[in-house]
C-alpha cells in the first residue's frame, strides 16, 4: 500500500520521476500493470503501467531508491543497495534505530542529517518514522521548544490500513477495537526518543523523556489518532500552547518544498475534532490536526492528534525526506 502511494504521489512531481520498479524474484519479470493489484481509489499512473519490474539482484543505474519493502525482507536488501552506492529513502522499520541512520521528520529534526557521511561515494540511508510516531512527534515538537518535556503517555487509535493489505481480518475488526498491535508499542516509544534527541559529536543522544504507549487497532480506513498526556518541565498555558501548535513550521515550509503542507499542524475547530472523516485529508494528507488541548495540572497537557497514516505517516513522509535532501544539496 505504501509503495503504491509513493508511486501515486510521485506522479508529476517537479523534482523526481520513477525510472525503475524493483520487486522480489517472484514478482519481477512482467509489466507493473499485470503484476500489481492496484488498490488505491485513484487510477494507476500511466507512466508506470508498462514498466517491466526487475528483481532485487539487478544492477541499477538509479542513484536514489525509495523503499517500501516489507520489514521481513527489507533488512538485507537495503544494506546490499547501500553497499552498491545507492541512497535509500526508506519507509521500512528495519534500520530506523541504527546509530548511523537518520530517522527524520523534516519539520522536527533536520539537523539529524549530520549523521550522514556524504563525503565519499558510498551509499547511505535515511528513514521516516512509524506512522503514529510521526503524528506524536509533530504534536510534541512545539511543546518541547516552549516548555520542555519529561513524560509522554500515549493511547493510539490506529486505522486498519496501518496493518497493510489485506490487513486485519474483517471478523476481528468489524464493529470492534483490538487493544494490542504486536511490536508496535516499543517501536513507537524508541523512535520518539530518537527523533526528539540531539546531535553530539555526530551521534544521536536520545531524548531523556519517558514515553509509554498503548496501541489500539480501530475500524477506520485511514487516519491514526493519538491521545497524549504530556508532563512538561515548566508550567503550561493552554492558549499559548494553541498558538504554538497553529504557528509551528519548519524548513519544509520555509523552502516551500513541493509536497510539504503550508501548515504542518492545524487546530481542531471545536471539541469534537479532530475526526478521521473530517480532518485526515488536510493539505492532501500531509498536515496533522490537534484538538482537545487542555491543562490537566500545572505541568501536564492533554491533547488529541490525528494524521494520515499512509501519507504523512508513510509515503508522503518518505518523499518529503527526499525533498529535504534535495534542498540541502545532498542528492
H or E element in which residue 242 lies: helix 238-246
What would the mean pLDDT of 269-294 be, rounded to a whole number?
A: 97
pLDDT band at 120 (very low <50, low <70, confident <90, very high): low
What would the mean pLDDT of 54-78 be, rounded to a whole number?
A: 92
**Cell numbers linked to 200:** 553530539
Count of beta carbons in the 10 Å neighbourhood of residue 77 = 19
Helices of type H across 124-169 = 131-147
Determine the Cα angle at 304 with ends 302 and 310, to 5°.
145
**Cell numbers linked to 37:** 493489484
Residues of the chain with CATH 3.40.50.720: 2-130+315-327
- Tell whether the model's pLDDT for residue 27 goes beyond 90: no
Residue 307 pLDDT: 98
- Tell whether the model's pLDDT for residue 79 goes beyond 70: yes
Residue 25 pLDDT: 80
pLDDT band at 45 (very low <50, low <70, confident <90, very high): very high
What would the mean pLDDT of 143-160 be, rounded to a whole number?
A: 98
Query: How does 239-255 read in b/e, with b if 16+ C-beta sit within 10 Å?
Result: eebeebbeebebbbbee
Is 2-130+315-327 a domain of CATH 3.40.50.720? yes
Contact 244, 146 (CB under 8 A): yes
Least confident range of 4-8, 61-65, 88-92, 231-235: 61-65
Residues of the chain with CATH 3.30.360.10: 131-308
pTM of the model: 0.96
- Tell whether the model's pLDDT for residue 249 goes beyond 90: yes
Residue for cell digits 487516519?
223
pLDDT digits (tens, 9 = 90+) for 187-229: 999 999 999 999 998 899 999 999 999 999 999 999 999 999 9
- Tell whether the model's pLDDT for residue 26 goes beyond 90: no
Contact 235, 299 (CB under 8 A): yes
Biggest CA pair distance of the chain: 62
Domain 131-308 CATH superfamily: Dihydrodipicolinate Reductase; domain 2 (3.30.360.10)
Catalytically active residues are 131, 224
What is the C-alpha separation between 196 and 189, in angstroms, rounded? 11
Region of 4 (left: φ > 0; alpha: ψ -120 to 50; beta: rest) is alpha
Residue 118 pLDDT: 66
Residue 119 pLDDT: 59
pLDDT band at 72 (very low <50, low <70, confident <90, very high): confident
- Tell whether the model's pLDDT for residue 121 goes beyond 90: no
What is the C-alpha separation between 172 and 170, in angstroms, rounded? 5
Residue 31 pLDDT: 94
Amino acid at each position: 500500500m505504501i509503495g503504491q502511494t509513493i508511486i501515486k504521489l510521485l506522479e508529476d512531481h517537479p523534482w523526481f520521476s520513477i525510472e525503475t520498479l524493483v520487486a522480489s524474484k517472484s514478482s519481477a519479470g512482467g509489466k507493473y500493470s499485470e503484476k500489481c493489484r492496484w488498490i488505491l481509489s485513484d487510477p494507476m499512473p500511466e507512466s508506470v503501467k508498462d514498466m517491466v519490474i526487475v528483481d532485487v539482484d539487478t544492477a541499477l543505474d538509479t542513484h536514489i531508491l525509495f523503499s517500501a519493502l516489507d520489514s521481513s525482507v527489507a533488512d538485507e536488501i537495503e544494506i546490499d543497495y547501500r553497499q552498491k552506492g545507492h541512497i535509500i529513502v526508506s519507509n521500512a522499520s528495519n534500520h530506523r534505530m541504527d546509530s548511523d541512520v537518520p530517522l527524520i521528520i523534516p519539520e522536527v529534526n533536520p539537523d539529524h542529517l549530520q549523521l550522514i557521511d556524504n563525503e565519499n561515494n558510498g551509499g547511505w540511508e535515511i528513514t521516516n518514522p512509524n506512522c503514529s510516531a510521526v503524528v506524536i512527534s509533530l504534536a510534541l515538537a512545539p511543546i518541547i521548544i516552549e516548555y520542555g518535556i519529561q513524560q509522554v503517555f500515549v493511547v493510539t487509535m490506529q486505522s486498519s490500513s496501518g496493518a497493510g493489505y489485506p490487513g486485519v481480518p474483517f471478523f476481528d475488526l468489524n464493529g470492534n477495537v483490538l487493544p494490542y498491535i504486536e511490536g508496535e508499542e516499543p517501536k513507537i516509544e524508541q523512535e520518539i526518543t530518537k527523533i526528539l534527541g540531539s546531535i553530539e559529536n555526530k551521534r544521536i543522544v536520545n531524548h531523556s523523556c519517558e514515553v509509554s504507549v498503548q496501541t489500539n487497532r480501530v475500524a477506520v480506513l485511514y487516519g491514526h489518532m493519538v491521545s497524549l498526556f504530556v508532563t512538561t518541565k515548566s508550567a503550561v498555558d493552554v492558549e499559548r500552547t494553541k498558538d504554538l501548535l497553529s504557528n509551528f513550521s519548519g524548513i519544509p515550509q520555509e523552502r516551500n518544498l513541493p509536497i510539504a503542507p503550508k501548515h504542518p499542524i492545524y487546530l481542531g475547530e471545536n471539541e469534537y475534532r479532530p475526526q478521521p472523516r473530517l480532518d485526515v485529508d488536510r493539505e492532501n494528507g500531509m498536515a496533522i490536526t490537534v484538538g482537545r488541548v487542555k491543562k490537566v495540572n500545572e505541568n501536564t497537557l492533554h491533547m488529541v492528534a490525528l494524521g494520515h497514516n499512509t501519507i504523512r505517516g508513510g509515503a508522503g513522509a518518505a518523499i518529503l525526506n527526499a525533498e529535504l535532501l534535495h534542498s540541502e544539496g545532498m542528492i
